[in-house]
Structure 1
């Protein structure tokens, strides 16, 4: 098992000073009242479209691929709101890492917690199906405050950022597992733990099947969910932390347990169902989803690239 990162005095060297300045600035900014944070975050997000040009092309392409029948003006509106969420995502990461429990609870309302409570009463492992929303870090923090669990993550290539994100996530959770550590996830689930897992990205050909996602008929989708479910037999609980309109804060929305609804006869049928769940969750807050990733970069043999 990969060891969790620990603080290294080399992080104080000059090559990391810009990161420390950025983190220090973020820490100070998230001390501001939430309405001010919201104002700054959305305005900064609007500016990103003029600098992150490659990512802007990816966002537009993903929206075209997933919602081809959405009128052009609605696609444009969704694109603009998504840009605002990019700016908010930076602040929301800082809020997740630096806010006190009292302040987070003040700005969150929670719906559907009984889905977790019922599974916990059965001493059953719970596979929390999360998606890559800009509110991802906040969602992990509030869930950990309610029911501490185990996060699944991809270590950051920058050692300081890797330490910071791990330290932030462990403020309210037990430990972290590398996303490649399937055996560790299975063991945790079999011991009744809560494991946060995100199956919504394109992880390449290996251990993936091609199944529909929105209007894309062949989306490379990880079979990790199938392996974990088949062996550990956990409750399958999707969730999303979404930002509410009118600066009202956030809602942690926990959906019903999917365990009895998921077909396990083949991995393709199971992942088709999971992708439908992913669609359902994304549509709860499509403007807050990370459309800036090349979700459909892996194509079946012979198919042309989509980007």
Structure 2
């Protein structure tokens, strides 16, 4: 049996222990399809406000991340940014529902593009593209937008521990043309790029010390940063394009492709490659700072192994 086989429905998933999962996704699918967008926007922001009360630890993480990333900003400047970020974190739940359950025609009305042609040109050349997308809160919409526009790609994912959730998640992300690759299946990632296809690469989080270097990311000079981009680029000679899908006025999600960076990417210097990648991520995150995933402990792994993990958040 293929250890990377996609999840499949079985009669076991009808066990009562999974009923809450099925019910929750059923309600979400019904809600996002029946409600107009402005109601979804208000509902999502309402969930975020509720989260500020019920998940105060996450609010503290977001604030601490922003303090570390932008040490020049005062508390008065950070307060509204933290609040807006948490509101957008709540909205991400609605955006996930829109991505997974909206019909194509409805989602397409909310998408606009900037500089998409370069990805099309690389496809015509048969050159694989590493889509360097940061962990924005509306990442799900960005991924489906490529498929909606006729340019599907592959994402890297970690199977969920709950098999019912995992099945819905897998279906939601793939039923419109995109593919998913298990995060441990490096060979398939390389094959995907060598076939001239697109692969989403999310290299802006802290994935731990293994295969990482410590380089600047925003205001932190020694942020633990994965070197996966070097490995994939060296193995495939792919193109590399920073991408975002931020939300702007009137519910428009702008699929914005920055200029490609592979021509200046130092494939034989992992530290320099990580620096360049972080700089690219910084540049695109600054377009809409409040829509990045600040609730993740981005700076938890310390360069000094004697320093406990997460000490910056104590």
Cα distance in 2 between the residues matched to 1:58 and 1:26: 27
Who is 1:188 aligned against? 192
Cα distance in 2 between the residues matched to 1:106 and 1:154: 30
Who is 1:284 aligned against? 287
Superposition pairs of residues 147-296 of structure 1, within 5 angstroms: 147-245=151-249, 247-296=250-299
Question: 1:78-133 deviations in whole A, cap 9, x for unaligned?
Answer: 10101111111000000000011100111111111012012112110111111111
Alignment check: 8 A CA contact 1:151 1:173 kept? no
Who is 1:127 aligned against? 130
Cα distance in 2 between the residues matched to 1:229 and 1:124: 12
Secondary structure of 1:36's counterpart equals helix
Alignment check: 8 A CA contact 1:65 1:216 kept? yes
Is 1:4 matched with 2:6? yes
Secondary structure of 1:91's counterpart equals helix
Alignment gaps of 5+ in structure 1: none
Superposition pairs of residues 134-145 of structure 1, within 5 angstroms: 134-145=137-148
How far 1:64 moved relative to its partner?
Answer: 0.7
Cα distance in 2 between the residues matched to 1:248 and 1:196: 23
Who is 1:19 aligned against? 21
How far 1:302 moved relative to its partner?
Answer: 3.3
Cα distance in 2 between the residues matched to 1:161 and 1:256: 36
Secondary structure of 2:54's counterpart equals coil
Cα distance in 2 between the residues matched to 1:93 and 1:248: 14
Cα distance in 1 between the residues matched to 2:285 and 2:162: 29
Q: TM-score, normalised by structure 1?
A: 0.96
Cα distance in 1 between the residues matched to 2:230 and 2:24: 40
Alignment gaps of 5+ in structure 2: none
Secondary structure of 1:251's counterpart equals strand
Cα distance in 1 between the residues matched to 2:11 and 2:138: 31
Is 1:69 matched with 2:69? no
Distance 1:126 1:293, change over 3 A: same
Alignment check: 8 A CA contact 1:126 1:236 kept? yes
Size of the aligned set, in residue pairs, is 306
Who is 1:306 aligned against? 312
Question: 1:187-224 deviations in whole A, cap 9, x for unaligned?
Answer: 11111111111111111111111111001111111111
How far 1:284 moved relative to its partner?
Answer: 1.3
Runs of 4+ in 1 over 6 A off after TM superposition: none
Cα distance in 1 between the residues matched to 2:122 and 2:176: 20
Q: TM-score, normalised by structure 2?
A: 0.94
Secondary structure of 2:224's counterpart equals strand
How far 1:167 moved relative to its partner?
Answer: 0.4
Question: 1:244-271 deviations in whole A, cap 9, x for unaligned?
Answer: 13x3321111111111122224100011
Alignment check: 8 A CA contact 2:122 2:129 kept? yes
Cα distance in 1 between the residues matched to 2:224 and 2:4: 26
